[in-house]
Chain A
């Protein structure tokens, strides 16, 4: 009895010291230790080095990342349509949207650049190694997170690793926009799960300060796909071809939708094409769908901007217009009010050729 009483405080003290030592050891981890544990949590350097590329899908966007730091973000439409490609390669971030190629700057450069590094390290910080600074531990609710910082373009990037499992929990971009506006983009990552041989978060929540944010859920995860040699240098989109001349436009169908309210055909014509054709609000056009004998041939009225379209009570049933796509975006759409087609005629196919001529 006495022996037991003496032993209990001793065990308690020993337990206390073991706990304290463990906590102290954890707190005194070196930056390198933290990074190593982050890599180990995802399977270790050796296993990660076996991954040459990673791809996944989120909504209508497909991401392809190489282990050497290239990233291709492809926005898909229906069937084989590719509306936009963003390519991160070296220090450049380029975008091809509807065949208009531009170089991205600001957050639109910094975020994909940082994501490229993150994906290249398969969601670890190993590719940031040379640029990381350690800021200590920060408490978020019941969790403590290791706080590290780096930079991307002119933005400060805060990275937070969970103290318990060393996975990335949070990433924050901070800086100034081109108009002097405050930019703060936040990413919260979901718990990491083993998928297709890699440990990755299957979702994340991103928001810019002042907005509600977006939940990204990823699917169709693939590792080490056979990609063409020049895959990460091609910036091609697939939206068909546009020919524009005064009063005349040729192009293709990107999408079509028939509902009780009418038929909408989304085209690949952008404002640049419309300007080349010299169309003005009120112009009367003839629309032709070349493909089928029974193809649609109709008269249309052109509206250059959404706010120029007459109110619905003035648009008679059967009105047909060409105007900016009603759901937004960069292209124009043809709308047949009150015309429903179920099923749609065979002439209505994705990328089928279409044409308008000014009357």
Chain B
């Protein structure tokens, strides 16, 4: 039953209760008890899949905990059948893991928790210091282990694999039972998914994949899946710009529901992690579990693409990077601007941008002829976008 049909059903049911006089108007006189304490049905996960060869079963729609407000929303998602939860050390300015721990502590043994730690490979990484970081994460998560520990936002897997201190730290954490599986998240899947085929470190991979970008990485996803790597899709809403667009909800579906259906229509993707910030997000996204990609969803996606095709930066595309004479981290800058403008994560975005090396910021664009724009296959006004991004991220 689709979400909307289910809602109609619930509405009809409660109307029926009114008709029988079991639901009472407040001003209707003497105090009355509640109508049998009946609860309306919440949507449930309908499909679970194997997460690569980990032996873990994951729901097709999982929980991205990048922007949380109320820890009980996590628990509600669990009650709806969501058992895979993705967080990171840096989320919510270091508070994200604590939210996840608080929300899931009573059901910890029934859920899968992934957390991620960023690494600056230009600086010395020390094994003991990293182990301490992960142990601090465990404390915040109120658990003695994480199911999957990932390196956060990795552009080049070889940097990690060649770092003995880091690899040794993960190995020790696994031996001690503090980490069950390892992997990484990436915005450069074209490179890193290929690299992942040659190592056993990558047991689960989290990558950007949505209806506007990712077609070119599908062969790599397939290869990873065939190797037994767990495949998890993120950024499934292609920039999340729908809040400012027209006609992104109709009687059959909403844009996020259509976008989730598109991602999960790829059998090589084990699960996806749309950000769930509220009870209503849980209801909206979980309702898509097990739903096929239909014509209405495709129309919705086409409508979205029409409106943002020359505005949305496909972060994993990277075509402009080699064209830039100033070595600006174009895709990162535009990704941070996306967090600022469309994800409602202004402070975090400003923080990420502040951490970017000054020489990779768009400070020299003013006199530049903008070869990035002719390099962009999608016709984005890259220079103006970069300048605008710098403005908002330094305001």
Contact = CB atoms under 8 A, between A and B. Distances in A.
Given A129-B26, A184-B280, A317-B366, A214 B344 contact: yes
Interface in A242-261: 257, 259-261
A311 interface: yes
B76 A261 contact: no
Interface in B12-56: 14, 18, 23-27, 30-40
Highest count of chain B CB atoms <10 Å: which of A137, A141, A183, A186: A141
Interface residues of B, number: 72
A186 B27 contact: no
**SS of A interface (majority):** mixed
Contact of B370 (A33, A262, A311): A311
B162 interface: no
Interface residues of A, number: 59
A203 to B, nearest CB: 7
Contacts of B278: 186, 188, 205, 207, 213
A172 B72 CA distance: 17
A231 interface: no
A138 B41 CA distance: 9
Contacts of B36: 136
A335 to B, nearest CB: 10
Highest count of chain B CB atoms <10 Å: which of A180, A259, A326: A259
B123 interface: no
A181 B281 contact: no
Given A141-B74, A141-B78, A312-B370, A136 B35 contact: yes
B254 A139 contact: no
Nearest to A187: B278
A134 interface: yes
Given A182-B4, A210-B249, A210-B284, A139 B39 contact: yes
Contacts of B176: none
Given A140-B279, A212-B344, A312-B370, A182 B249 contact: yes
B326 interface: no
A172 B143 CA distance: 34
Contacts of B363: 260
Given A188-B73, A338-B366, A209 B254 contact: yes
A133 B251 CA distance: 26
Contact of A213 (B38, B72, B344): B344
A212 B275 contact: yes
B67 A212 contact: yes
A110 B364 CA distance: 48
Contacts of B30: 30
Contacts of A213: 277-278, 281, 344
B72 A135 contact: no
Given A212-B277, A212-B343, 4 more contacts: A30-B30, A35-B26, A133-B18, A170-B279
20 contacts: A27-B37, A28-B33, A28-B34, A29-B33, A30-B33, A32-B26, A136-B35, A139-B79, A142-B106, A143-B72, A143-B75, A182-B250, A182-B251, A188-B73, A188-B279, A210-B256, A210-B284, A212-B243, A213-B344, A312-B370
